[in-house]
Amino acid sequence: MKVLVTGAGGFVGSHLMPELGDGAVAGSADVTDAGGLAAEIRSVAPDAVAHLAAASSVADSWRQGAEVWRVNTVGTVTLLDAVRAEAPAARTLVISTGEVYGGTPDGPVSEEHPFAPLSPYAASKAAAELAAGRAARAEGQDVVVVRPFQHVGPGQEERFAVGSWTRQIARLERAGGGTLEVGDLGVQRDLTDVRDVVRAYRLLLDRSVPAGTYNVASGEARPLADVVEILVGLAQCPVTVRQNPARVRAVDVRVLAGDASRLRDATGWRPEIPLEQTLADALEHARAVEGEERAAG
In order along the chain (297 residues), what is the average pLDDT of each group of 10 residues?
Answer: 97 98 97 98 98 92 92 98 98 98 95 96 97 97 98 96 98 97 97 98 98 98 98 98 92 95 98 98 97 86
17-43 pLDDT, tens digit per residue, is 999 999 999 999 999 999 999 999 999
**Among 63, 180, 54, 192, which Cα is nearest to 125's?**
54
Residue type, 16: L
Please give the angle made by the CA atoms of 229, 234 and 238, to the nearest 5 degrees: 80
Tell me the three-class secondary structure of 145-166, residue by residue: EEEECCEECCCCCCCCHHHHHH
Q: Check residue 250 and give its pLDDT.
A: 80
| Signed CA dihedral, 101, 107, 111, 112: sign only | negative
62-92 pLDDT, tens digit per residue, is 889 899 999 999 999 999 999 999 999 999 9
Query: Helix, strand, or coil here: 66?
Result: helix
**Helix (H), strand (E) at residue 109:** none
Close Cβ partners of 177 (under 8 Å, ≥ 6 residues apart): 237, 238, 239
pTM, full prediction = 0.96
